[in-house]
Structures are given as structure tokens and as C-alpha cells.
Structure 1
Amino acid sequence: MTDFRFDLRRGALITAALALLCSVFLVLPASAEAEPFDDCPPATFCLYSGADGTGERRDFTDRQNAESYDATWDGKALSAKNNTAMWACVYGDPAYGGHLETVDLDAEDAYAAGAVSGHKLVPTRALCFTGYERCPDNRVCTFAERNGRGAMTVHLPATDPATRNYGNSYGTGPAPKSAWNRTAKDVCFYPQPTYTGTWADPADTTGVKKFGAYVVLRGDSVTVPAPFAGTFRSHELVTTTGDCQ
């Protein structure tokens, strides 16, 4: 005769084992979907052509700062991940010009279409607001924007036949708004392309008081104040400021 009590016990054990096995499968984690920006490599600043770290990715290290991008990427970045140990400075115009945004270490950012045309990586956030460091040694550099930002002109001094001084004339091009004198001489800036001219003192209602040359001493950088800002048309290098025209 069959012992039904034994079969019942065995059936109960099998049922319990199946229940335990099912519970194991139920608690297994589902495969996690990739989070936005997860593909940005370490020590890299990543730009994306889509929002939230999607689309095509372009990578930069701290040795690959870009004052401007080629035509395929100029104004095309819609998001970014700063996976470096530095601040990322993102600019709306080439040459560190235009609108500026700063991206903290290990942070993400989003942009409107056409808003990003260049960037640099710097150890402190304050350095995002200047661009003077681009000027080579032993040169006078002028910049289209304040604080050394925007398009830079590197001046290679040449002897002017009229003044016999080392100088450069800008003619009718855009007048600079900031400058760095990295030479061993002082620089005299003028409102005329002929190394001459004066500026009226805006505080003098009589119109009599005039300013002569605007001087930037050797080694100094400056954002040009009123009434001189945006008016420089020439400059010359001099041994002493008394040699200005």
C-alpha cells in the first residue's frame, strides 16, 4: 500500500523549493539603462550634439582647449559634461568672446542652439573671464573685447619711417578694447593711424582739456577705459613715456 503521508511531505518540500527559486528570480535586478553623460571618459570635457548627453560626442582634454570649432561643430553643441578636475569656460563666440558660461568640476550643462563656439579649461573660475594668456612673449597684443577676450591681434613691431619708432598702425579696422604689453618697452597708443591725436576729457565741459597718448607700461595688461576704449588706431614702443608723440 502506498504511504500517502510520505508523498504529501515530499510534495510540500518540492513546492517550497520552487517558491524559493521563484523568489530568487524575482529579486534579480533589471539591467540598468545608461545614464545621460555616462559615456564621457575620465579627465575629459565632452560636448554633445544632442540634449542631455545624447547625439554625437566630441572629446577634449586639458591640453586640447579650443578657441573656436570647425564648421561642423560651431554652434552645434547642445549639452556638455565636464569630467575633468578643472573649470570649463564655454564661450558664445570664437576666440573666447561673446557670452560666457562656466561649468564646475564633474558638472553638466545645457545650451541653446548656436550658443557654443569655443571653450578652455582652467584651474580657477576667475580665469574664464580673461584671455590675455594667449599673447606671446615680447609682443604687443590687442583684443576686440574687454579683459583680453575676443579676436586677438599680435603686433610684430616694425620701424616706422616717419617716427623712427617701433610701431603699428591699425588704419580703419576694429579698434581694440584691451591690450597686453609683453615687451621690454612702454607702449603709447593714439587715436589716429599716424601716431598722433588727442582725446577730450569727458569731465571737462569747456572742451579745453585734452589727453595725449594712452600709455601701457611694460608687462602690463589693461581693459581700456573711457574715453579711450574702442578708439586706438596706432601705437609705438618707447624707452620712456616722455618719448610719446
Structure 2
Amino acid sequence: MALASSPDLSVTRDQHVARIELSRPPHNFVDADLMRRLAEALFCLDEDESCRAIVLASGVGTFCAGADFSGTAQAGASGASGASSASDVSRDPSAFYEQAMKLYRSRKPIVAAVEGAAIGAGLGLALLADFRVTCRAARFSANFNRLGFHPGFGMSVTLPRLVGEQQAALLFYTGRRIDGAEAVRIGLADALVDQGEVLSRATALAHEIAASAPLAVESTRETLRLGLAERVVAANRRELEIQRVQFATADFREGVAAMAERRAPLFQRR
């Protein structure tokens, strides 16, 4: 499989470290096509014996503000959590998740350089990585319940795996945004640096990993993550089933409207 860069997904190399950069201004919303190409890039790097670690970064100042189910991600035309309206978000997300779940089959260690927002599916993308380097100005949020629907992206497995069930429940139920310092405190991120140093520190960590024996690193990673892809896919299957039901509710429409209007939602349990 040939490794090709595009305006919104570029792949560069620095010795044994590859950098994948997502660039969809202004908010780096993602969709099924971008997830497909990201998976292809990761699989290509899996086959490249000279690549020993990967940095996942943003080229637009925001790591990723969410998933776009409307097909307008590249134009940046979406609103809250990648949704310009309830009807956009509630289009069947199965194609998006089908591609996103492939990411968990990649074999090389990944360091995410998280600046700006990592919201909704953007947080899910950050959780894919083995490590996260961030700054105080970053914002993390699993805002699904606040929008009126169940979390997705397999995050019902990946978030509690990192921060524990109690902290995960708190982040899910409230949809609150936390900064980079709080993310590090609860174990959601691994290193807190100055805002202008996120990418360089993430790259330095990737080079540190790449200095270890690659066969040993990859086999250790495989052991540590044994069964993770299967658990994430199974959880995502349940997440999708529930989301499809909740996308049809008045509460979901209210959640999206409230977010777009920057007001508190008034949910009615219907």
C-alpha cells in the first residue's frame, strides 16, 4: 500500500519517527473518509520497518473538535461537535465508526500532540494514542451526554481504561471541559508543557521510544493492549445501537440546539 499525503492529512519522517498531521481548518472535524485514510497511513507505517514510533498532531491549532457526519468536515462548515444541525449529526454514523475502529489494529506506538480542543470524537482520537502530550490551554471533553446521546468511538472502554471508572463517569455524565493540567492530574494525558512546546515534546518522546529495540517495543505494546481492539469494537457496536435510538429523541435535538445557541439545554426525557 503506497503512503500518500494530502492537504488534510500529511505524513512526514524524522529518522525513525513518522508524523501524521491532520489539517482541516478551522477545527479539524473528522469524517469517515479521513478516518479511512488515517487507518491506511497507520497500516502503511506498520509495514515500514524503519518506522518505530508515530506522532499524531494537528496542523491547525486544534487537535480535533469532533466528528462530522454531514460531509462538510473539510469545509469546516459544521458547528457543535462537528454538527451543523441535529439532522446532520443523526445521519447513520456506522461508516464513520467502521473506519475509526480500524485504527485500533495498528501496531506502532503513537504519541498524540494535543493542543486546543479534543472534543467528542476528537477525544476518542486522542485516546487511540499510547501517550498524550498537552498544554494548559488544551480542552478535553466527552460532551456526548450534554448533547443528548450516548458516547461513541469505543470511549466507554478507552476512557475508563485511562482514568478509571469513576473519573470516566464524571466526564461522561457532566460533559465538562477540562484543561491540560487537569487532564494530566487525572491520567488522561501524560505530560504538560508550554503551549509552543507540545509538538516538539511529543516528538522527543517518540524519538525516546524509537531508541528502544523495535521488536521488543512492538511486542510489549501488543501484550499491554491484548484484546483491546476487540473490546473497543464490541463496545462501539453497543454505542452505535444506542446512538441510533437517541438521535431520534427530542432531547438530542435540544442538546444540539442548546450547544449551537450557547445556552443550557432543557432536557425532557423524551
TM range (shorter): under 0.3
TM-score by length of 2: 0.23
User: Structure 1 length as normaliser, TM-score?
Assistant: 0.25
Q: Which has the higher helix share?
A: 2
| Greater length-normalized contact order (CA 8 Å, ≥ 6 residues apart) | 2
Larger radius of gyration: 1
Which protein has the bigger strand share? Answer: 1
